Structure formats: C-alpha cells, structure tokens
Amino acid sequence: MTAGELAERLGVTERAARRYVAILREAGIPVDSVRGPYGGYRLGCGTRLPPVVFTQAEALGLVMTVLDGQPAAADTDTDDPAGAALGKVIRALPEDIGRQAAALREYASAVPDRYLARPDPATTSALVAAVAARRCVLLRYRSESGREWEPEADPWAVVIRYGRWYLLCRSHHADAIRTYRVDRVSSVQQITREFEPPEGIDPVAVLEENLGAGWEFPTRVVFDAPLDEVGPWIRPAMGRLEAAPDGCVLVGSTSNPAMYAQEWLTTVPLAFRVAGGPELRAAVATLASRLTAALADQP
C-alpha cells in the first residue's frame, strides 16, 4: 500500500501515515518499502506482532522507572512481583529492543531508598477500588509508634508522594480529613455506605495541607525568623506554619516524637523553641543530652 492509500484508510495525512510506519519500524516490526510507481509499504508474509510493542525509548524508559522505584527488580532471580513482571515484559519485546532493555536491567545498579515504603499491592488495589466505587471503608491501621485502631473513612484518593503511598480520606470518628500511609494499612473492608467526595478537590494539595494533622501527640514549635525564611525548611508532615508577631509558629502533630526531633527539627538551621507538646519536649531534651554527652571530655 502506498502512503496515500494508508492515509486514506486511516483517515490521516500522508505525513502522519509515514510517521506511523517509522514508529512500527522502531518497535521492531519489519515494514518493507519499495520505490517507484508500483511501490509502497509491505508487511512481511507471515509476520506476527509481538504481544507487547514498545519503541526503544518507551522500553528503556519503563525499565529505568521500575528500577528507580524498585531497586530489587534488577535481580533476575528475585521473587519481587515488580521484578518478575519486568522480566516478562522484556521477554515479550521484539528481539533488538528486548536485548537493550535486558542489558540495561543487568548492568544498572540502584541504591535502595531507606525512606521508601512499599505498600501491599492487594491492599492498594482494594483502596483504589473503594475510591472508584465511592464506598466507605473500614481499615485496620498501625501508626509509626505501633498503636493500632480501626478507623471508618470515606476514601477520597490514593496519592503517591516522594515514593510513599497515602490514602486521603475523611475520618468518620474525627469528622475531619486524615492522611494514612498505605503501607501501614493491614486490611481494607468495603461497607455498603456510599459517599460523595468534595467537588473539585485537588488530592495532592489537600494531602500536603493535612499530612501533619490528626496524630496522637500535638506539637508547637516557635521560630524567631520570619515565615518566608523558615518556610523552605518545613516539610508538610511537620505541620502548618503560621505567621506570628515576632516570627512564625509551626503547629502540628506526630505519632513519633523522637523521629520528629531527630530527623526533622535538626535539619532546620534556624533557632527555635518547642513551646507545646510534652512528648516532643521530652524527645528534644533526650536528644540534647545525647549530643551534650558526645562533647564531654570525660568518658
């Protein structure tokens, strides 16, 4: 078939038809061409399309994305579901492209992200199904401190943020927005009650605003510096930063005061004082004692 005949059959321009032929060739499909008045494009006799057709850039991009998010997938002998799936995809690719993708997988090494928390695929799928069906759920949840409870909630959205998966929802008990780490959800049960999510909600923005709310231990940290100077150092999970007459104040909550003190507050290169939250004050005092002891002359 000529480019003109292909274009007419597909309802596109001749230029688009030629571009499609080029894409097929890049994906490893043998499309021959013959010049002249009786020429055109021809698919080899008996050609069978592979079950998965990617261009080279698509295939390599897929391998890179999987390895970036799941370093264990680089191991061809792993029992990791993502690694097993990646191997099947590579084997199904056209030979030339599959060979390059396999080489990339074999010779690339990734350092695991110690902050990465991967949820159970079945749990994640159950939450997504509830979000799509707009059905309330009964969860079994474990906080970072180890406390377990069973909240009932309206699941609004599942949000991926910096390698972590979160459920954005409205808690029935608290009648407030809550954010739950999906990797800490051990069970999901849909119930018959339906709900309507807020109209026009931006799940990412709402998640950012509420990451530091609703946990066991309240926190209140006061800074003498202005809000625009402190703001770049405050992550959303630490709480809500508000302007104050002589600086700004960080109001939030946490389930792990020791982590809040050691991993979050110590990264802020500005003077502060813990004005609220006895648990956080105790954690900061413990940290300060350890650091002071590290500088003592006596063993």
Output the pLDDT for position 115.
Answer: 66
Output the pLDDT for position 299.
Answer: 62
Output the pLDDT for position 289.
Answer: 95
Axis-axis angle for helices 56-69, 95-107 (nearest 10): 30
Q: How far apart are CA 279 and CA 261, in angstroms?
A: 10
Query: Up-side HSE of residue 256: CA atoms within 13 Å toward CB?
Result: 13
Break the chain into its structural domains and give their ranges: 3-43, 56-107, 121-202, 217-294
In contact, 272 and 223? CB cutoff 8 Å = yes
In this structure, what token pair is assigned to residue 141?
A: 């949840």
Identify which of 214, 212, 251 has the alpha carbon closest to the alpha carbon of residue 230.
251
**Average pLDDT for runs of 10 along the chain of length 299:** 92 92 82 85 76 83 87 79 88 85 87 76 94 96 88 95 90 93 95 93 90 88 95 90 93 92 94 95 96 83
* pTM for the structure as a whole: 0.69
Question: How many residues in the chain?
Answer: 299
**Quick one: the chain helix, strand, coil %, rounded to 5?**
40, 25, 30
Output the pLDDT for position 131.
Answer: 96
Output the pLDDT for position 285.
Answer: 96
DSSP state of 152: E
Query: Up-side HSE of residue 193: CA atoms within 13 Å toward CB?
Result: 10
Output the pLDDT for position 114.
Answer: 67
Domain 121-202 listed as CATH 3.90.930: no
Sole residue written with tokens 């991926």:
160
Q: How far apart are CA 213 and CA 219, in angstroms?
A: 10
Q: What's the farthest any 2 CA atoms get from each other in the chain?
A: 95
Residue type, 84: A
CA distances from 233 to 133, 262, 267 (A): 38, 15, 8
Q: How far apart are CA 76 and CA 247, in angstroms?
A: 54
Output the pLDDT for position 61.
Answer: 92
Query: How many CB atoms lie under 10 A from the CB of residue 97?
Result: 23
